[in-house]
Amino acid sequence: MNILILGYGKMGQLIAQLSEERGHSIAAKINIDNRNELENLDPKDIDVAIEFSQPEAAVANIRWAIERGIPVVSGTTGWLDQKPSIEQLTLSKNGAFFYASNYSIGVNIFFKVNEFLSKLMNETKGYKASVEEIHHTAKKDAPSGTAITLAEGILKNNDELKDWHLTDKESDSDQSLPITSKRIDPAPGTHIIRYQSEIDDIEISHTAHSRQGFALGSILVAEWIQGKKGVLSMDDYLSF
């Protein structure tokens, strides 16, 4: 495949490295400093765009690719309030757009474990749920997209909780799920789900040891998306 890298920070660099190790070619490596180079590219020479940029650049990057018929695999978080417009654009252009808050296979298994546990805890009274996430200090958005996905998995299976809130912001509602966000170097990502009661605590967690699982997952999806159309997700890729 000929891959366009949209966002060439640490993640983009690792994606480029692993892509070439798997026999793929890099059409271009685009970041904030050379975005004007997009206009010199021939979309016919690009098989897929892998987008790990910044929240403020993600929408423009994705739109550029979708409008030119290039499938997009996106992992940038912090812009999802605009995701419905991207999905609409994808469908109107008969394109392909794949989004995941986390491309690690282990994390996506963790998502399913979290949902299963939340269903069990919904039938058990006396426990208070919470989410904690720890990332490196360069991560700009808080909470992480992964933490939000975990929170959504709890909310959809819990009859009492209605929304979530960051613990550094006040919430007077007992129906709000607290999320604690910590930024500590060099942590690539830890997510903890807790259910606490007066009798005992139940806790599940996922800890990433490096970015490699995230990067490789996005490349595997980019290989898989070839020839596909529509708005796609990890459920489609993993067939859960």
Residues classed as catalytic: 135, 139
Residue 39: other Cβ atoms inside 10 A:
7
CA dist 146 and 114 (Å) reads 12
Q: Which tokens sit at 102?
A: 């986390």
Q: Which tokens sit at 213?
A: 């699982």
